[in-house]
Amino acid sequence: LSRNSERIIVMSIHQPRYSIYKQFDSLTLLSEGNMVYHGAIKETLPYFTNLGYVCEEHDNPADFLLDVINQCEGQTSATA
């Protein structure tokens, strides 16, 4: 829809199912008002893997990212 009408859509969603998650182009993750990640959705898991947080193949990436954010609360923000 947004590609056809050349519109930017901003959405706040908590724990989307995988079928919704994989439709995103980019992602911004916030924790306690601070940016934890901002970048292309396809780079999100490799970014966190490089930081030592590995998403298992059978896990929902959205659930995995929520777990990582909960572990990182109180730490410095990062940008991809």
Q: How do the pLDDT tens digits run along the chain, 80 residues long? A: 566 777 777 778 877 888 888 888 899 998 888 888 999 999 999 999 999 999 999 999 999 999 998 887 666 545 55
Rounded to whole angstroms, what are the CA distances from 46 to 4, 33, 39, 42, 54? 29, 23, 11, 8, 8
Note whether residue 14 is domain-resident.
yes
Number of domains in the chain: 1
| Threshold 0.75, pTM exceeds | no
- Domain with 64 in it: 2-72
Structural domain contains residue 77: no
In a domain, 44, yes or no: yes
> How far is the C-alpha of 51 from the C-alpha of 25, rounded, in Å?
22
Is residue 80 one of the residues assigned to a domain?
no
